[in-house]
Amino acid sequence: MKKLIVCIMAFAFLLTTTAPALAKGGHGGGKSASGHSSSYSGGGKGHSGGGKGHSGGHGHGHGKGSGGPSRGHGGHRGGGHYHSSSSTSVYLVGREVIPNVHTFPDCNQHSATSETFVSYYSNGTSNSYTYYTVLDAKGNVLATDCTDVKHTIYDNVHYLLLRKGGKYGIYSHDGQLISNRSYTTMYEIAPNRLLVKANKMYGVIDLLENTVVPIKYKEFKSVGKDLYITKLNGYYGMVNSSNYMFFPPEYDKITQLYDTFVLKQYGKYGLADAYGRLILEPVYDKIKKQGEYIVVKKDKRWGVFDSSGRMLSEVGYEKIKINRNHLEGKINGMWIEIPVPLI
């Protein structure tokens, strides 16, 4: 009997000494807020992904997911979803419809109404979209469900430039579609001249959809009054809206500098004026701004032009600088003032 009591006491002692160790290390050795082991906190990287979804393989949200910024409230309490204090849920808090009436300059034949639908969200942001209806002078509906409406008059004829379903078309004064092709971009850039984009290429058409500038340019950038830098097959040129080509697309780069344009070709630089006329052939090693002046470099010598491209000095100085608003050049190691013409 004494031996039996001793055995029972020894077994009880063994349980009391090993139970904490078992509880501490039984499923990988970590604390869990929901009663589940946190042994997969490192494995949570693959699933939590910044606080979303399930960490640790079985959707129990084990401990701190190393892949997310917040603690996982997992298991039965959190359903395995992560909630971060830095990213709260955004939800719709209200909607509004704003009506408006629009008129067109110099036009008494057309008008438009619009409805702007605004959605407001809990984080203080909003988004909106607008649909237009075009009307004639009597209030008859000419077009609906337009997302952009433009109007122009040429030769006493009214035209409507409407975007519907993401595409622009040219419409007559009574709302009839007269263009055969649809465009993703359409702007009036000169009388009877529309800059358009189709199939990711730019060109110019007239109001009867005749092609003026072929729709083949990757870029078509306005840089002056009826003057545009174009890009074709990686090379740059300059045209106007009537397709007069000032410079063919044969230049590596064309950049605007004051009222002039710097042309780069074969690693050399030239200069054109505001009207697209060539001032300097592209034979210079460098052209840059210096104060209000343009300085050019060729064969280690510098010269000066004003901001309109007018020559102020020959290209013969070792260096050029501005000293107290005086232009100076260095010759044979000495600085001298460069006389600037008054006219």
> Is 4 part of a structural domain of the chain?
no
Would the pLDDT of 309 be above 50? yes
Among 182, 202, 220, the domain-final residue is: 182
- The answer to whether residues 128 and 191 belong to one domain is no
| Contacts of 58-67 spanning 24+ positions with Cβ under 8 A | 60/34, 60/36, 61/34, 61/36, 62/30, 62/32, 62/36, 62/37, 62/38, 63/30, 63/31, 63/32, 63/33, 63/38, 64/38, 65/41, 66/41, 66/42
Beta strands in 49-108 (DSSP E): 92-103
Among 182, 204, 238, the domain-final residue is: 182
Q: Integer distance in angstroms from the first to the last C-alpha of the chain? A: 128
Burial 216-244 (b: 16+ CB within 10 A, else e): ebeebeeeeeebbbbbbeebbbbbbbeee
- The answer to whether residues 188 and 176 belong to one domain is no
Tell me the three state secondary structure of residue 208.
coil
> How many domains does the chain divide into?
4
- The answer to whether residues 164 and 177 belong to one domain is yes
**Pairwise CA distance, residues 68 & 71, whole Å:** 8
Give the model confidence (pLDDT) of 267-308 as tens digits: 999 999 888 899 899 999 999 988 888 999 999 999 998 888
Among 182, 202, 229, the domain-final residue is: 182
Please count the helices (runs of H) and the strands (runs of E) in the chain.
3, 25
- The answer to whether residues 61 and 103 belong to one domain is no
Q: What is the mean pLDDT of residues 31-36?
A: 33
> Is 139 part of a structural domain of the chain?
yes
Give the model confidence (pLDDT) of 167-186 as tens digits: 999 999 999 999 999 999 99
Give me the pLDDT at residue 5, please: 43
- The answer to whether residues 263 and 242 belong to one domain is no
What residue numbers bound the domain in which 53 lies?
A: 29-77
Q: What is the mean pLDDT of residues 82-106?
A: 82
> Is 312 part of a structural domain of the chain?
yes
> Is 16 part of a structural domain of the chain?
no
CATH number at residue 221: 2.40.10
Q: Of 81-85, 144-148, 321-325, 330-334, which range is least confident?
A: 81-85
- The answer to whether residues 109 and 151 belong to one domain is yes
* H or E segment to which residue 21 belongs: helix 2-25
Confidence of residue 73 (pLDDT cuts 50, 70, 90): very low
Residue type, 293: Y
Task: Give the residue, 31 or 234, on which the prediction is more confident.
Answer: 234
> Is 82 part of a structural domain of the chain?
no
Q: What is the 8-class DSSP label of residue 317? A: B
Confidence of residue 87 (pLDDT cuts 50, 70, 90): low
Give one word for 271, left, alpha or beta, with left for phi > 0 and alpha for psi -120 to 50.
beta
> Is 12 part of a structural domain of the chain?
no
Give me the pLDDT at residue 96, please: 96
Residue type, 231: K
- The answer to whether residues 191 and 168 belong to one domain is no
Give the model confidence (pLDDT) of 183-213 as tens digits: 999 999 999 999 999 999 999 999 999 999 9
> Is 87 part of a structural domain of the chain?
no
Retrieve residue 3's tokens: 């031996």
What Rg value do the Cα atoms of the chain yield, rounded? Answer: 37
Of all residues in the chain, what percent carry a pLDDT higher than 90?
A: 59
> Is 212 part of a structural domain of the chain?
yes
- The answer to whether residues 113 and 36 belong to one domain is no
- The answer to whether residues 289 and 300 belong to one domain is yes
Residue type, 60: H
